[in-house]
Structure 1
C-alpha cells in the first residue's frame, strides 16, 4: 500500500486519495448486494403470467455482469493500470492471476457440492481469469477492438455450437453447479463452462474485456467517470431499446413463440427477466433479444453499459467523499472489498434453507435484509481494522506467490 495522500493535495492534482480506488470497491458492493437480491427475493410474481418483480427488472442479469466487468477492471488495476505491464513483470503478473484463479475455482467447486437453488458463478469466474491472461499486456486501443469483436462474434459462435453440444448423448451440460466430481468428466464440464451453462465463458469473456478497457483508462482524471456514466447509459438504453423493438414491433417474439410451440407460455415476461433454461435454437431471432442472461450481443452491450454507468457513479461518489472529507462509500466499499468471502458465506447460509421452510417469523425480504446488513457491517469492520477477508487473504497470498513476492504477503 502506498501512503495516503493528504486530501487537499489530491484535490489539486486530481490524484486518488489512496492507492485503492474506493469507487471500484463500492461498485463491487453494489454487485454483491444485487446478486444476493436475485438469490433471495422473487424475480417473478407467483401468478399465471409470471409478472416480473422490481427485483427481476432491476438486478437480473445486471448484477452478475457488473461483478464480471469489475473483475476485468481489477485485473487492469493490478497489472499496470493505464500502462500495461510487459516482459518479466507481465509474466509474473500472469502467474499470480493464474494461481489466484485456482483458489477461486477451488472455492467454487467446494460450494458446488452444496444443495442450493443458486447458480454459483465462482468456477466460471476463475476460468474467465485464465482465459483473459493473453490480454493483460494489450494496450487500450487493441482492447477496444477485441471487446467489440467479442461482443459481436461470441453470441453467434455460441448459437451455432450450443445445439450440437446439447444433441450429444448424454448432453454436454451439467444441469447443476460445477463440483469436484465433475472433474472426472472434463468434456461435459468444459462444454458447460464455455457454452451450455448458466454463465457461458465464451460470451462472458466480453465482460472481462470491457472491464480491462475501463481499467486501462486513467480513472483518476476528472472527466473519465462522467464519460463512463454518460456513455454507459447511452449504450445500455440503445441496446435495450433495439432489443425490445425487435421483439415487440418487428415480430421477433411472435416468431419465437411459434418455435417454442407452448401456448400460453409467458415469453414476454421471461424476456424481461431471465432467458436461462429456454432452448435458444431454431431461429436467428434469438440473437435479436436483449433479454437478461440471453448472452446475445444486445444483452452484452446493455449489461456492459449498465456496469460502466454504475462504475462511473461510484467513482463520482468517491470524488465527492474526498471533497467533503466524509467516507460516504464505506458501507458499500467495505462489502466490496471482501466479496469472495461474503459471497461464499451467503451461498453456504442459503444452502442451509434449501427445501426447508424459513424460520418462524422470517420472510424472504427479512432474510435478504438480514444478510445484506450483515455483509455491510462485517465489510465495514474489516475495512476499518485494515484486514483482508479470509478468502481474499488466501487469494492474495496465491497471487503474490505466483509473482514471486511471498514476503510481501500481509
Structure 2
C-alpha cells in the first residue's frame, strides 16, 4: 500500500486546525496581537510638554511588533520540517506555498492600506519578509543563528548609508501613508519605503524572521529548550538595553544627537525610550548606538529579538504546565493567536471607523482597548473550541496548499 502525500493527507480537513500545534507558540502570537492593539489604541506618551512615556509605551512599543515578526519565522520553521528542514522537491514546494501565502497577506495589507487610519499597518512588509526569507528555509539552526547574527550587525549600517540617498531623491522615495494598491504605480518608491524608509524597514526586520527561523529549528518539545530561550533571551535583552542606555546617557550619545537635531528643549530622552520611528537618523553615527524602539539599530534588533525569545520560552513553559495540570491555561491567548491575520485585519478596519472622530459617549481609550481585546479573545476561543481556522487563515492555508501541491491539494 502506498503512503499518501502530505497534501493528500491534509486535504480532508481543510478548515480545521492542524493537529500537534504548539499551544505556547499560539499563545505568544496572541500576546503579540494584544500588545500591538494596545499601542494602536492607548497613548504611548502622556500629553504634556515632556512627552512622558506611559506604561504602554515602555512595555509594548517596538516589542509587540517584533514578537509578531519573530513568531512568523518560528511558524515558517514549524511548517517546513521543524528541527529537520525539508530538502529537494519538498523544499521547492514549501517555498511556493510560502510565496502564495505571502501574496494573500499582501492583498489584505494593500486593501487595508487604503483605509484612513492612524495605525502603521505591518502586513505588506510582513508579506515581503516572507519572500525575503525563502532562500533560508532549507537551513538548519546553527547556520540560521549565524545568518541572524550577521544580519543584526550589518543591516543597520547598510540602512544608515542608503537611507539619506533615498530621502534626497526628488520626490523622496518614502511614502507618507500605509502601502496601498495605488502605490503599485510607483514601484521604486514603494520598494524603497518597504525596505528602508518606512515604519517597518524590511532590510533590518529580516533579522527577526531569521531569529524566528533559527528558534523554530530547535527541538521546542525538549524540556530544556524553552527554559534556555527564557533565561538566555532575558539576559541578552537586559544587556542590549543596558548598553544602549549607557551609550546615550553615560557616553555622550544623547548630547551629540541633540546637537544634530538643533531643537532646544526637545524631549529626546523620552522619545529614545518609546519610539524613534520617523526620525531621519542621519548626520551622526551615534544614531546606531541607541537601543530605542523602532530605531532599527543593532541594539534595538538584538533587544527586541531577545525579548521575543524570552516570551516564546515563557509561553512554551506555560504550555507544558497546562498539559501537566490538564487545564488549558493558555486558551485566552492561544485563541486569538491562532487567527491573528483575521483579527488584526478586523481590528484595523474597526479603528479606521473612528479616525478623526470622537469616541462614542461614555467610552474611554481604555474601554475601547478592552473591548477590542475582549472581542479578539472571545472570537479566538470560539474558533479554537470549534476547531476552525479563521477566514483569512483558511485563505492563506489554501494558497499554501496550492503552492505545495497544485490545485489537486484542494480537491
Report the equivalent of 2:33. 32
The answer (yes or no) to whether the contact 1:103–1:398 under 8 Å persists in 2 is: yes
TM-score if structure 1 supplies the norm length?
0.95
Deviations 1:155-182 (A, max 9, x none): 0000000000000000000110000000
Structure 1 residue 252 corresponds to structure 2 residue 253: yes
The answer (yes or no) to whether the contact 1:396–1:409 under 8 Å persists in 2 is: no
Report the equivalent of 2:212. 211
The answer (yes or no) to whether the contact 2:106–2:123 under 8 Å persists in 1 is: yes
In 1, the alpha carbon distance for the partners of 2:195 and 2:176 equals 14
The answer (yes or no) to whether the contact 1:334–1:382 under 8 Å persists in 2 is: yes
Report the equivalent of 1:169. 170
In 1, the alpha carbon distance for the partners of 2:111 and 2:189 equals 18
In 2, the alpha carbon distance for the partners of 1:320 and 1:139 equals 28
Trace 1:175-194 onto structure 2 (pairs within 5 A): 175-194=176-195
Deviations 1:347-378 (A, max 9, x none): 00000000000000000000000000000000
Report the equivalent of 1:341. 342
Structure 1 runs of 4+ off > 2 angstroms? 405-410
Deviations 1:5-45 (A, max 9, x none): xxxxxxxxxxxx95110000000000000000000000000
- 3-state SS of paired residue (2:380): helix
Report the equivalent of 1:302. 303
TM-score if structure 2 supplies the norm length?
0.95
Alignment RMSD, CA only?
1.4
Structure 1 residue 49 corresponds to structure 2 residue 84: no
Deviation at 1:406, TM superposition (A): 4.7
Deviation at 1:232, TM superposition (A): 0.3
In 2, the alpha carbon distance for the partners of 1:18 and 1:220 equals 15
Structure 2, unpaired ranges of 5+: 1-5, 11-17
In 1, the alpha carbon distance for the partners of 2:244 and 2:23 equals 34
Report the equivalent of 1:391. 392
Structure 1 residue 146 corresponds to structure 2 residue 164: no
Deviation at 1:219, TM superposition (A): 0.1
Report the equivalent of 2:403. 402
Structure 1 residue 376 corresponds to structure 2 residue 377: yes
Report the equivalent of 1:234. 235
Structure 1 residue 77 corresponds to structure 2 residue 63: no
- Count of matched residue positions in the alignment of Structure 1 and Structure 2: 397
In 1, the alpha carbon distance for the partners of 2:236 and 2:407 equals 42
Structure 1, unpaired ranges of 5+: 4-16
Structure 1 residue 202 corresponds to structure 2 residue 203: yes
Deviation at 1:141, TM superposition (A): 1.4
Deviation at 1:139, TM superposition (A): 1.6
Deviation at 1:84, TM superposition (A): 0.4
